[in-house]
Amino acid sequence: MVETKGAKTSLRLAESMLELIQRHGYSGTGLNMVVEHAGAPKGSLYFHYPQGKQALGEKAVELAAERFGSLVADAALEQATPGEVLRRVIDELAGMLEGSAFQLGCPVSVVTLEMGAESERLREACTQAFESWIAPVTELLIAHGRPRPVARALATAMVSMVEGAVIVSRAQRSTEPLYCAAQAIDVLLAQGAEASA
């Protein structure tokens, strides 16, 4: 499918918003910054996002959700166990953090922390993003023998721990918190397997 010029511009604006949120936060990202970063005509922003910054922020959150979801899905196809999928995801996140000198974080957690109490639209976008990660992990765990309630609880804990570990890793400028989270999740997975046995 060939994308139109307009669709490419819309995506470029969303990608710029996503990267700038990762670097500067939602509040620290102005629309002029986005237009400049995207190399787009100024009028194109309101043409593609007539509802302004919140609409663009919502699209950036959706884009982040899709990308992380694809990472989990690709890892699940290539790896045999939930623990191996987790390690692949942790390695990818650690690489992103190190590659950006710990400047890039998860835009979904950033938007949640900054705007979750102020914008129902953005809070809901973040809720959907987190759910889009929890749901496939739940299904992966079910496929490996966990009952649905146990799988859902483990998946929610896994996503929550990884999100928190990304924040602590940025603060400490170290990937150690990510790998500590991975070790703790391994323990949870082992306990979950025992509980479902």
Are the C-beta atoms of residues 155 and 141 closer than 8 Å to each other?
A: yes
d(CA 31, CA 17): 8
Candidate from 42-46, 73-77, 80-84, 104-108 with smallest mean pLDDT: 73-77
What is the rounded average pLDDT of the residues 68-87? 82
Q: Per the structure block, which two tokens stand in for 62?
A: 């959706």
Please give the backbone phi and psi of residue 62, each rounded to the nearest 5 degrees, phi first.
-60, -40
The Cα 37–Cα 56 span in angstroms is: 14
Which pTM does this prediction carry? 0.87
pLDDT tens per residue across span 108-152 = 999 999 998 899 999 999 999 999 999 999 999 999 999 999 999
Fold of 61-196: Tetracycline Repressor; domain 2 (1.10.357)
Q: Is the dihedral of CA 173, 69, 82, 89 positive or negative?
A: negative
Instruction: Map out the domains of the chain as residue ranges.
Output: 61-196
